[in-house]
Structure 1
Amino acid sequence: MSGISRRHLLTGATGLTVAAGLYGSADLARSAATAGQRRESALRIGYLPITDAAPLLIAHSAHLYPSGSVSGSKPVLFRSWSGLAEAFVSRQIDVAHLLMPMAIQLRHVLGAGVRVLGWNHTNGSALTVAPDITDLEQLIGTQVAIPFWWSIHNIVLQKLLRARDITPVVRRTASRSRRTVELVVMSPSDMVPALANRSISGYVVADPFNAIAQIKKIGRIHVFLGDVWREHACCVLVTRDDVIAERPLAVQAVTDAVVSAQLRINMDRGRAAEALTSGGYLPQPLPAVRTALAYPNPPYQFQRPDWSPQLVGFQPYPYPSFTRRLVEAMHDTVVDGDRSFLDKLDPSRAHGELVDDTFVMNSIAAQGGTHVFGLPAGLDRTEQVHLL
């Protein structure tokens, strides 16, 4: 573990903070007392209340999870990535959607047996700034919020800043003369009020928080991350090696349900938005969630309109080319925390060490094959990253 303890990682400056109210629900907190002394017969699912979680939630709303494979109660809601990660690592939940770079970090630092089953979604994130900011240069000397250090949000934001000769810094006051921007980790739900009171100049995060800022007119979407890295994976479907070993049929059933839910969302995004809000899965208002899933009125002139960068996508196949390119980008990313695990992280081997696509390939075949999701027959692609 590179000289760093699990407890230090979970309580230190890596963004995983154990705090009061960590587990997001009373029943999950109570179950913590007996963790390790029992095993649930049905898998428990956890999520953050963002549109990234839609496939997991629609699968529950549409009753796609087979009885007995998944807990009959609703997926457990968490308020921060740190809370979700801690519950996953400590085996309070068995399946979740995690930030792809976070999954890599957890597997290599904690040895937590994290296993990516497939992609949960693509795109779905943006850099939102104060209404008067029209250029990245105006962020110099200010604070910008990110949801987690090891996130595609932080990685792409830093790429954008460096392309303009702007330096991202951590735990150092931003300076106009030195052309720096200070990055701070913030829970997604706290970002909107922070932008409203101008304690930050912008944030980069998943929807519907970008849509909310636009609807409330307290911020404007400067760029969708899909306009920078085409159809990148943000959150991935994860479980642990021990769950796969002990409950392979349940893992397959969960994967089948999530893949089926992805198709349902693609077929009717309006109905999906209604299910997510009326069913109590997402606390944000219907107009924000509906906007986030469709963006009928583009908020800015896209750099690459043929990429449809505003649309959160739902396809499950985890491209090895993305994992490789992502690990390469992680080596260049500034974070507040231990980075030593990167020294032994080989981009060419990372995908095989992290991803088990057996279950998702079975699910894709059961739905009719790769063409149903618009995937190329050879399941190969070249990553397209173009900075503004």
Structure 2
Amino acid sequence: MNLFEEKSSELKNKPLAFRMSPRNLEEYVGQRHLIGEGKLLRRAIDSDRITSLILYGPPGSGKTALARVIANKTKAIFQWLNASTLSIEEIRRNLSFARQRSPRSEKTILFIDEIHRLNRVSQDAFLPDVEEGNVILIGATTENPFFYLTSALVSRSHIFELKPLEDEEVLEILKRALSDKERGLGNLNIDITDEALWHIAKSSEGDARKALSALEVAVFTTKEQDGVIKIDLKTAEESIQRKHIVYDKSGDQHYDTASAFIKSMRGSDPDATVYWLAKMIYGGEDPRFIARRIIIAASEDVGNADPMALVVANSAAQAVEMIGMPEARIILAQAALYVAKAPKSNACYRAIEAAMKDIEHERTLPVPEHLKDAHYSGAKKLGRGEGYKYPHDYGGYVNQQYLPKKKKYYTE
């Protein structure tokens, strides 16, 4: 029996999320960019040729589950350690055992959960043995390893970034738990509505552990009715502590709410602005989509009445990419409220629209001779640039013709 195999009697007392952990790659859901057919990590696991690596991703994305798959597959000695309780003495003791096995060609894999919690001294302790191949180090972390791990340790490891699971992938995991009679809830008579199951999957935000825990709470806190455990949407909301709202990211709710958000910023109503923003965030809208809408409003509806609005909106979009949710909601709120409170002018929007309309429907105006490029050899012979007045020679402004035909596009 390896580290992760449990007697059936012991397994019953484990949380559902632990019991449903995949035993092999066939049971593993998600992260196809890493373990799809032909992918590097898939090939390494299948051939039992794992090298030191760091699994980096949000909670519930499958880092620990992937470690269990590797543990079940490998012929190496697999040891599980948690950085939050790991002392430097324990690290040295485990590395000493690994060195003793190495001459006998016995591989040792040390899995360090929450590896970002290790201090620099503890991280450096692994370096010699990782370098010499005495030990294979697998670290799991929710934090960016390039920020939290030493460059020496990062350089000796492959970094694999796991993504939040898609809603459909979480739904697949939930359905498997409901049907699995050996490890899951398949022996219970459960009647759960599609709406309730989808709500749990969607509200978990890509976290399979959170979804399975919510399902388990829903099942074991619901009284049987005529021998059936009936779970509806209300029960699902209580179990995952998240209200169900109607918000389809590709349907009417998406477009209607985004429209209300934009029009509230344009109308200088900060309270409505932040309400519609909150609805989009709660509904799982892509924060990058929201940031782009704020940038557009900053230019289209504020424009030169307050040029800083565009600077703030663009900075917010960059910060959202760097920080991510849930903290990015604060950045989005700051930018949206700045735009909502800023003075408004759509002069730039009206100007470019009018000019584009003329370009499309009228005869294109030629460039006046005195404005044409005169920097190339022979330009003067063609009369290019002749008569052009350099504004700085006249104190910054000089009256001269810039269009061959009088046009008025920009009005304050």
TM-score range relative to shorter protein: under 0.3
TM-score for the superposition, normalised by structure 2: 0.27
Rg larger in 1 or in 2? 2
Which structure has more strand as a fraction of its residues?
A: 1
More helix by share: 2
The TM-score normalised by the length of structure 1 is 0.28
